[in-house]
Amino acid sequence: MNTNVDTKTATPPRQTATMQGDTRAPGSDTPSLSIAMEERKAFRANPAKASADKLDFWYGSNQALKNINLVIPEHQVTALIGPSGCGKSTFLRCFNRMHDLQADTRYGGAITLRPDNVNLVGPETDPIEVRMRIGMVFQKPNPFPKSVFENVAYGLRLRGINNKADLAERVEKALRGAAIWDEVKDRLNDSALALSGGQMQRVCISRALATEPEILLFDEPTSALDPIATAKIEELISELRQHVTILIVTHNMQQAARVSDFTAFMYLGELVEVDATSKIFTNPSKKATEDYITGRYG
Amino acid sequence: MSVTESVVMQRTDPTDPHTSSSVDQSVAGLRLHALEMGALVIDQVAGAVRALVENDSALAHAVLAREARVDEYEKQLDRDSLTFIALQQPVASDLRLARAIVRIGRELERAGDEAKKIARFALTLDKAADGSPVLAVSRQLRHMAALSGSMLRAAVRAADEMDLDLARAVLKRDAELDAEFAAALRLVMSYVLEDNRFLRPTIDTIFALKGLERIGDHATNIAEQVLYMKGVDISD
């Protein structure tokens, strides 16, 4: 059974001005950090795949995300940047409900996935269903101790696909999609753990791609890789966005600049600024953003 | 008030310190060299104009001799900016600074070129006949020289102090210089109409006046780069 919704035929609703306009600082009556007209225009040019609306998140009594309002444009790469502890990974993990695995965590607000307007963090939403639609790639390549083929086929088998020909076809498609087919086509039955770091990471991307997710989450996907492997992953990210919406957390500012279409800067659990990447890295609107990307945080 | 709210309205100044002191050193080096070059060009323009109106050939020679140093400064700024971009990979205000410094260097070099041309003209003046048109417009020449020189000084100071108001003031004064040039042009043209023996010195005088007008344009461009460095939209 394929739970994916066909995003190609459905038309996601266009973003309205109020979706970004009513961002308010906690405890404040006046709108603050509201996104300027120019930025709204850039976002309106791309239909929203998902949007965080007044999203809050608590680890116990510690509020890690504060009133996040962010639109994730479809078939675009959105990068999340910010200093350690700013909440960017926490935000990313809300999308596939990874926090549910931890006790005493709480969501507030919503992350709405288009086109069917499912609230990803709603208590009524099944986290397993969410994870079927949203794939994730982690910092360290983490293939299962299985063959390359079985790693990629894993999610498909979970979905009840057991037909050999069908599996083989989908595994090849996923491996090709992650630009690693040529390197592993003769080693499909070898352990994935025998591959190089860059190859393992691309196998992990294949594994995420195999189930045809609508959004792919990358949490520092290249921080454990050498520059060549990094370049391959970055190239891959650029290609993948034709098929899938991408959200990437990175500490590498130049990487955010290279791979993303939009960049969101977070600080202390708040979204400070989001704009076209070219604008953020040449002339950001907020001093906090500029100070961070130019290395002025003391 | 939220943490982020407090910093919304401010802008980062390119001179604000970075976490990395090597970035600070690179930025300081670029700004210092641009400032030194600015001081040199201001001197060149002032010297060339004085050589012209006071018929001082020694001064004109001194201006021409120093021209190579102006060019050397521009090349150095170009090299240093490129190195800064390659090694530090600056973004936002730092990147705008690196680019603006190269442009300011180019504008200063061109202003220096105008000073060189005026100095060369000053050297030919000895041979000019009595009643040369340059004498007739000497008041306009002095006035334009004072105006363009002060615009250049203000533009360089605005770059040094990152002073937006001063930069905007330079932009406003360009129209005044243009009007002065148009008036001087009318005056000097009447000479050649009266007696075509003055054709050559009239053309030279026009070039000198035009040079001063161009120096004002270069000052204006430098002022625009100051606004650009501070993230002000200069497209309109």
DSSP class per residue in A212-248: --SEEEEESTTTTS-HHHHHHHHHHHHHHTTTSEEEE
Q: From the list B3, B5, B90, which residue is nearest A294 (CB)?
A: B90
Around A259, how many Cα atoms within 13 Å sit in the side-chain half-sphere?
33
pLDDT classification of B198: cutoffs 50, 70, 90? confident
Q: What is the pLDDT of residues B211-234, one digit of tens each?
A: 999 999 999 999 999 999 988 877
Structure tokens at A58: 């608590």
Those residues of chain B whose CB sits closer than 8 Å to some CB in chain A are 1-5, 7-12, 16-20, 23, 89-96, 231
Q: What is the pLDDT of residue A43?
A: 60
Q: Is A293 on the interface with B (CB under 8 A)?
A: yes
Q: What is the pLDDT of residues B51-72, one digit of tens each?
A: 988 889 999 999 999 999 999 9
The identity of residue A161, as a single letter, is I
Given its phi and psi angles, is residue B89 left (phi above 0), alpha (psi -120 to 50 degrees) or beta?
Answer: left
Reported ipTM: the value is: 0.73
Residue A104 φ/ψ, nearest 5 degrees = 60, 45
Distance CA A105, CA A87 (A): 14
Q: Do the Cβ atoms of B205 and B115 come closer than 8 Å?
A: no
Distance CA A241, CA B124 (A): 68
Cis (ω within 30 of 0) for the bond into A115?
yes
For residues A281 and B1, the model is more confident at A281
Q: Do the Cβ atoms of A86 and A249 come closer than 8 Å?
A: no
For chains A and B, what is the number of CB pairs under 8 angstroms?
80
The counts of H helices and E strands in chain A are 12, 10
Q: CB within 8 A of A284, min separation 6: which ones?
A: A265, A273, A275, A290, A293, B92
Distance CA B101, CA B78 (A): 8
Q: What is the pLDDT of residues B5-27, one digit of tens each?
A: 444 446 777 778 888 888 888 99
Residue of B nearest to A66 (CA): B2
Q: Which residues of B11-49 are buried (b: 16+ CB within 10 A; e: fewer)?
A: bbebeeebeeeebbebbebbbebbeebbebbbbbbbbbb
The identity of residue A118, as a single letter, is V
Q: CB within 8 A of B175, min separation 6: which ones?
A: none
Q: From the list A286, A295, A296, which residue is nearest B8 (CB)?
A: A286
Distance CA A119, CA A138 (A): 23
- What average pLDDT does chain B have? 88
Strand-pair partners of A273:
A265
Residue of A nearest to B4 (CA): A272
Residue of A nearest to B20 (CA): A295
Which residues of chain A register pLDDT less than 50? Answer: 1-36, 298
Q: What is the pLDDT of residue B224?
A: 96
Q: From the list A254, A287, A296, which residue is nearest B18 (CB)?
A: A296
Residue whose token pair is 């533009």: B155
**Among B5, B19, B52, B133, CA closest to A29:** B5
Chain A residues in contact with B19 by the CB 8 A cut-off are 295-298
Q: What is the pLDDT of residues A179-233, one digit of tens each?
A: 899 999 999 999 999 999 999 999 999 999 999 999 999 999 998 888 888 898 8
What stretch of H or E contains A111? strand A105-113
What stretch of H or E contains B163? none
Q: CB within 8 A of B203, min separation 6: which ones?
A: none
Determine, for residues B12 and A291 on separate chains, whether the beta-carbon distance falls below 8 Å. yes
Residue of B nearest to A280 (CA): B92
Q: What is the pLDDT of residue B8?
A: 41
Q: Please measure the distance between the N-terminal and C-terminal CA atoms of chain A and give it in whole angstroms.
A: 52
Mean pLDDT over B84-106 rounds to 93
Distance CA A8, CA A278 (A): 27
Name the burial class of residue B133, with classes exposed (0-12), middle (13-18) and buried (19+) by CB atoms within 10 angstroms of its CB: buried
Determine, for residues B96 and A282 on separate chains, whether the beta-carbon distance falls below 8 Å. yes
Please state, as a whole number, how many other Cβ atoms lie within 10 Å of the Cβ of residue A60: 11
Determine, for residues B7 and A288 on separate chains, whether the beta-carbon distance falls below 8 Å. yes
Determine, for residues A296 and B5 on separate chains, whether the beta-carbon distance falls below 8 Å. no
Residue of B nearest to A287 (CA): B11
Q: What is the pLDDT of residue A143?
A: 94
Q: From the list B8, B19, B89, which residue is nearest A297 (CB)?
A: B19
